[in-house]
Chains A and B, each alone.
Chain A
Amino acid sequence: MTAGPNKLLLRMTVVSAVLLLSLVVALVMGLSLGSTHQGFDAIINTLMGQSPSDPMLQAIIWQIRFPRVLLAALVGAALSAGGLVFQALLRNPLAEPYILGISGGAAIGGIIGIILGFSRFPGVTLMAFAGSMCTLMLVMIISSGQSILKKDALLLSGVMINAFCSAVIMFLISMTQDARLHNIIFWLMGDMSMTDLRQVGILSAILIPGFILFFCLSHAMNLLLMGREMAMSMGLQLKTITLTLLVATSFMVSATVSYCGLIGFVGLVIPHLLRMVLGPDHRILVPACILGGGAYMVLCDLLARTLSQQGEMPAGVITALIGAPLFIVLLKRSNR
């Protein structure tokens, strides 16, 4: 009748194992496929580290594709988990990781960085991060007139800030004429090319503690859904936990967006999809979103790299093309 504790642990383990496996499969696929076609045997040999194959293949797999698939996994995990946390914090199914003005600020910062001619890392990344922190603070200030825990105030401020930022972004784009315009547009749509292991290392140092934090607070997130008063009456340090989750998630999402631009629909769709399949318990959903979101992003990035003969598409295009219809399907399913 009731889900016993062992059953919960069992479910958590099974779900995590299955999604971890899918992540590994996605990673292997991401390493094996790309804009050039290598023989399958050669790839397996290289991956297994056997018979040092030609250095060119080594270079392609380990120096080009490996950092990239790792980055994709981190990005997918961060955006999915971020979306899940915001949906719990704000008790709103439309919440997604960019909702507090983070995307607007990051975009403006990133675009200014590109216009000024900075290189992708660290120049543009730092500018984007600074931009998103600015808009986040702006949102907090605007909504602090009312209680910061009143979710609607936060949401509305975020929406307004994002709208304003869109206008600024349009303005900046219209001012740019040359090759930087291409760069800007690609960045805006999500661009995970041009990365290396050092950058991936830095991002994982920021994200992994965040993931652990989310997991530790997953039961609290369950309780949060009961509403402010009931949650408090059951022993939840509401203010502390809400602020911690808010700041940590915003920080993580900002860092993520600063690396790869605006990749949308992951933070909205993946939590809903997993919730439909696995149920609403965050103790299962948090690891599921991290692993499943990572696998999803690796696959989307793979498609972005290999689908078109004309060259790579921005990853954000793929996530939108898949995510939007998927979300509509989910919506119809849940209405029944």
Chain B
Amino acid sequence: MKKLPCFPRELSPEVASNKKFTIMSIIKSMLRYSVALMLAGVVLLTGDVAARQVTDGIGRQILVPDNPVRVVALAPSITEIVFALGQEQRLVGISQFSDFPQEAQRLPQVGSFIRPDIEKIIALNPDICIAIKDGNPREVAVQLESLHIPVYAVDPLDLESIMTMVLQIGDLLNVGDRAQTIVTGMKLRIDRVREQVTRTKQRPGVFFQISVSPIVSVGKGTFIDDLIQMAGGTNLCAGYSSYPRLSREQVVVLSPDVLIVSTMHQDVSIDQIKAEWAGWSQIPAVRDGRIAIVDSNIFNRPTPRQVDALQQLVRVIHPELFKDSP
């Protein structure tokens, strides 16, 4: 649906051979109540570990430890989720640029999201790695699995699948309850936003800029496009490809009511952005001063904080709904 597939949906050769191992029966509720059982920290790579077969986030049948205690998170969003689930003590390695929460930065880094360092991963002796389908290179997963390190892949494509991902990781780490709580909380807040949005018929035209120079926006099928729709806005670039590059003239023609800029650079200020667009007062957003900067981390990462992003969007797109609230 969204971008091109990176991971094979078929079984990797190693996984196919896992079926030869003893399959221990699992019951979902047993996992929820057996958190207390933690194996003493002796975990060998050679499969003495109590293991169970699960279906991972992209439909593969893999063998994972009953109780993973040496987890490597291959993406910053995974790190966030593990921390949100309160299971950071299981983490032995995280992806570079895992900057949320702050405490995460004390953990050993295993290379970036796009280029994980296999050597560092292996040196940490993990019992499972959690990877994101669209982004982590397939070769890395293949190589890890050939060394008998299971890789649990997830595929967050929108808010729904982010919530599914939280539940999946929660199950994996034996904290299904906790995961459910988080997801319930997310659902509540999302429903609240939906309800708020129904109170108004207006759907202002939104131009969401993910890059200042060149001007790059978001098209149909991206996270942000979904968020804009849910927040009661109209994504003016919905007809374009995923990340279209536009000229200023094209933005003028689109005539957005709201201009939102997400930036990774801390030093770009709202005044700078306003100055960039200052001369273009034909654009309603500029004329009315409806320009906002948002933190790209919560917008770009598939984590529960996307709901924060959603709430932020609603405030920017429909300020009139919040006139009376603090």
Answer yes or no: A and B touching, Cβ < 8 Å. Answer: yes
Chain A residues packing against B (C-beta within 8 Å): 34-36, 38, 55-56, 59-60, 63-65, 116-117, 119-121, 177-179, 182-183, 186, 193-194, 196, 310-312
A194 touches B111 (CB 8 A): no
Contact A311 B143, CB 8 Å, known A55-B45, A193-B115: no
Kindly list 4 other residue pairs between chains A and B, CB separation below 8 angstroms, not including A35-B119, A55-B46, A311-B117. Answer: A36-B119, A64-B122, A186-B115, A193-B115
**How many angstroms between the C-alpha atoms of A312 and B114 in the bound complex?**
12
29 contacts between A and B (CB under 8 A): A35-B117, A35-B120, A36-B119, A36-B122, A38-B123, A55-B46, A56-B45, A56-B125, A59-B45, A60-B119, A60-B122, A60-B123, A64-B118, A64-B143, A116-B4, A117-B4, A117-B6, A119-B138, A120-B137, A120-B139, A121-B139, A177-B245, A178-B3, A182-B114, A193-B118, A194-B139, A310-B96, A311-B96, A312-B117
Q: Using Cβ atoms and an 8 Å threshold, which residues of chain A touch B44? A: 55
A157 shortest CB reach to chain B, Å: 35
Contact B243 A194 (CB under 8 A): no
Residues on B with C-beta less than 8 A from A56 are: 45, 122-123, 125
Please tell me if the beta carbons of A183 and B120 are within 8 angstroms of each other in the complex. Answer: no
Contact residue among B46, B120, B123, B242 (Cβ-Cβ distance under 8 Å from A178) = B242
A36 neighbours in B (Cβ, 8 Å): 119-120, 122-123
B210 closest partner in A (C-beta): A177
CB atoms of B112 and A311 under 8 A apart: yes
Chain B neighbourhood of A117, CB < 8 A? 4-6
B residues 49-82 with Cβ under 8 Å of A? Answer: none
B101 to chain A, nearest CB (A): 22
Contact present for B138 and A311 (CB under 8 Å): no
Kindly state whether residue B216 has any CB partner on chain A within 8 Å.
Answer: yes
Is B135 an interface residue, CB under 8 A from the partner?
yes
- Give A120 to B147 CA distance when docked, in angstroms: 19
Q: Taking CB as reference atom, which chain A residue is nearest B244? A: A177
CB atoms of B135 and A311 under 8 A apart? no
**Separation of A196 and B143 alpha carbons in the complex (Å):** 9
In Å, the complex CA distance between A312 and B96 comes to: 13
- Nearest residue in B to A196 (C-beta to C-beta)? B143
Give B3-24 as 1s and 0s: 1 = Cβ < 8 Å from A's Cβ atoms: 1111000000000000000000
> By CB atoms of chain B within 10 A, which of A34, A38, A64, A196 has the most?
A64
Q: How far is the CA of A121 from the CA of B137 in the complex (A)?
A: 12
The interface residues of chain B lying within 8 Å CB-to-CB of A55 are 44-46
For B125, the closest partner residue in chain A by CB is A56
Closest Cβ–Cβ distance, residue B218 to chain A (whole Å): 10
Interchain CA distance A64-B147 in the complex, whole Å:
10
Query: Are B135 and A179 closer than 8 Å at their CB atoms?
Result: yes
The 4 nearest A-B residue pairs measured at CB: A36-B123, A177-B243, A117-B4, A194-B139
Return chain B residues, CB-CB under 8 Å to A182.
114-115
Residues of A within 8 A of B292 (CB): none
Q: Which residue of A lies closest to B8 (CB)?
A: A119
A56 to B46, CA, bound (A): 10
A19 CA / B38 CA spacing, docked (Å): 55
The chain B residue with its CB closest to the CB of A34 is B119
Say yes or no: A177-B3 contact (C-beta < 8 A), given A59-B122, A196-B143: no
Distance to closest chain A CB from B153 (angstroms): 15
Docked-complex contact A119 and B111, CB < 8 angstroms: no
Cβ distance B30 to chain A, nearest Cβ, rounded Å: 31
Within residues 158 to 213 of chain B, which ones have a CB less than 8 A from any CB in chain A? none
Pairwise interchain contact B114-A64, C-beta atoms closer than 8 A: no
Contact status B119-A65, CB under 8 Å? yes
B31: Cβ under 8 A from any A Cβ: no
- Taken together as a complex, chains A and B put the C-alpha atoms of A241 and B6 apart, in Å, by 45
Q: Nearest chain A CB to B38's CB is how many angstroms away?
A: 22
Chain A residue, CB-CB nearest to B135 = A179
Pick the contact of A194 from B96, B120, B134, B137 — CB < 8 Å?
Answer: B137
How many Å lie between the Cα of A312 and that of B140 in the bound state?
Answer: 15
Docked-complex contact B46 and A194, CB < 8 angstroms: no
Cβ–Cβ < 8 Å partners of A312 in chain B? 111, 115, 117
Q: How far is the CA of A8 from the CA of B115 in the complex (A)?
A: 48
Instruction: Give the distance to chain A from B27, nearest Cβ to Cβ, in Å.
Output: 32
CB distance from B144 to the nearest CB of A (A): 10
Distance to closest chain A CB from B259 (angstroms) = 20
